[in-house]
Amino acid sequence: MNRRAFLHNSAIFGAGIGLGSIIPFGSTLGNTGTRITILHTNDTHARIEPFPDNAPNYAGMGGVARRATLIRKLRAENPDSLLLDAGDVFQGTPYFNKFNGALDFEVMSKMGYDAVTIGNHEFDNGVRGFEDVMSKARFPFVSTNYDFGTTQMGLRVQKFLIRQVAGVKIGIFGLGVSFENLVLPHLHRGVTCLDPVEIAAETTAHLREYHRCDMIICLSHIGYRYNDNRVSDRIVAGQVDGIDLIIGGHTHTFMPEPELFEKTDGSRTWVSQVGFAGIVLGRLDFHFDRQRRVASVQHHNYHVTESYT
């Protein structure tokens, strides 16, 4: 798909669902209500520069300088924001071959990412390869279903994070994809993968009940959906209660709008993913009422083009 076709199709799919689209439920947003903006990326894959103008797909799109400009603009509009990434920062361009991910971590630090989960390509240079460059990241990593054992990697990656934004307590945890048939055993030596559904349920309950979090975000690198029985974001959203938002990755799915899962217990989970290579920056605005309950959600996807140079 070339750039023109991509933008055209996205405009068709996204018609009527931009920032003017509000999904209200439950309580009415009062005068003292709070708006928290979640900005997100996934599978950026060392795409430091935009795709070249003669690229067969996504010509002229992406680039970290443009993404940084857009992020600064959106944060100026609402300082009560979080910038999150769902993994696979590594691999994809000669920049990774040259800098082994260090450059990606440096530019993401300058953009002010608040949390990043671990994707399968973060093991492409082995556990030691990640450890060699992780000091370049001035942001926290979070991964809950990877057991890092006694590795140095485990000293840097947290099981979950808690952030206070505008008086709202937000719990953030991460899910990684199974290593089987994906990451060679010697590359993830010392790190094992645990069941993502079970871990997600336990962690969500812990964050809700023990830490009294008002909102739960899962940074997932397990994939949006599959045609077989592999665990996906849709399965986690359907089976685990209490997650407000799943920011997904791994399958490079361009979702024109988040998918909403409504549970029998009255809880709701949104699932969102924005393709790959930093072509799109996702945005969700969560509006909270005076009891710090989600009252409405707005969403919009920004195409990262030369307009943000």
DSSP symbols for 127-179? HHHHHHHGGG--S-EE-SSEE-TT-HHHHHEESEEEEEETTEEEEEEEEE---
Using a pLDDT cut of 90, give the percent of the chain over it: 87
Q: What is the pLDDT of residues 194-237, one digit of tens each?
A: 999 999 999 999 999 999 999 999 999 999 999 999 999 999 99
**Residue-range domain boundaries for the chain:** 3-14+35-308
CATH ID of 3-14+35-308, from 3.40.50.720, 3.90.870.10, 3.30.420.40, 3.60.21.10: 3.60.21.10
How far apart, in whole angstroms, are the C-alpha atoms of residue 269 and residue 253?
Answer: 18
Count CA within 13 A, CB hemisphere, residue 191: 32
How far apart, in whole angstroms, are the C-alpha atoms of residue 270 and residue 286?
Answer: 11
How far apart, in whole angstroms, are the C-alpha atoms of residue 24 and residue 92?
Answer: 40
Higher pLDDT, 18 or 307: 307
Tracing tokens 């809700």 back to the chain, one arrives at 208
Model pLDDT, residue 5: 47
What number of other Cβ atoms are within 10 A of residue 213's Cβ?
23
Phi, psi (deg, nearest 5) at residue 92: 140, -25
What number of other Cβ atoms are within 10 A of residue 8's Cβ?
12
Q: What is the pLDDT of residues 3-43, one digit of tens each?
A: 444 444 443 333 333 333 444 433 333 344 799 999 999 99
Higher pLDDT, 273 or 5: 273
- Mean pLDDT, the chain, as a whole number? 91
